[in-house]
């Protein structure tokens, strides 16, 4: 189980790096790419470009998640939940990277935009 946790954690970090790299090289204006979860906080702090900051926060959150998973939540149910959460996050990151690379929406980003419109 520990090997699977390490592999999905590496998948999350690698997919976020791919998304950040493609976004920083392919998009003309970084302002087109915004993470809605913490955009408002970053704007209040005066940070305009959040592409590589989101990569850093992903690495930080994965590290904290692994620490808590091993230190406090070493039950199989939490490990399975962590694995599925990481796989879901990897799919979202790869969907965003695909969308940024080709410059058009795919089925993953279309669903995310629909969810974002419903909440707004």
Over its C-alpha atoms, the chain yields an Rg (Å, rounded) of: 15
Confidence of residue 74 (pLDDT cuts 50, 70, 90): confident
Orientation angle between helical segments 2-26 and 76-102, nearest 10 degrees:
20
Spatial contact of 90 and 8, defined as CB atoms under 8 Å apart: yes
Closest listed residue to residue 26, CA positions, set 108, 105, 97: 97
How many whole angstroms separate alpha carbon 115 and alpha carbon 109? Answer: 10
For the record, the structure tokens of 120 come out as 């707004």
pLDDT for 94-117, tens place per residue? 888 888 787 777 777 777 666 666
Confidence of residue 75 (pLDDT cuts 50, 70, 90): confident
Q: Which residue has the tokens 């808590």?
A: 68
In terms of pTM, does the model score above 0.85?
A: no
48-70: average pLDDT:
85
Confidence of residue 61 (pLDDT cuts 50, 70, 90): very high
- Give the per-residue pLDDT at 103: 73
For the record, the structure tokens of 68 come out as 């808590």
pLDDT at 53 over 70: yes
Q: Which residue has the tokens 């795919």?
A: 106
For the record, the structure tokens of 85 come out as 């959460």
Please provide the average confidence, as pLDDT, over all residues in the chain.
79
Q: What percent of the chain has pLDDT over 70?
A: 73
- Give the per-residue pLDDT at 110: 73
For the record, the structure tokens of 103 come out as 């410059």
């Amino acid at each position: 189980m520990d090997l699977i946790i390490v592999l999905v954690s590496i998948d999350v970090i690698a997919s976020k790096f791919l998304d950040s790299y493609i976004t920083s090289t392919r998009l003309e204006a970084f302002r087109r790419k915004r993470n809605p979860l913490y955009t408002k906080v970053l704007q209040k702090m005066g940070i305009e470009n959040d592409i590589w900051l989101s990569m850093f926060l992903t690495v930080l959150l994965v590290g904290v998640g692994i620490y808590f998973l091993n230190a406090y939540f070493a039950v199989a149910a939490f490990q399975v939940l962590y694995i599925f959460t990481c796989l879901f996050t990897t799919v979202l990151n790869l969907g965003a990277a695909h969308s940024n690379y080709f410059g058009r929406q795919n089925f993953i980003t279309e669903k995310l935009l629909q969810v974002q419109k419903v909440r707004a």
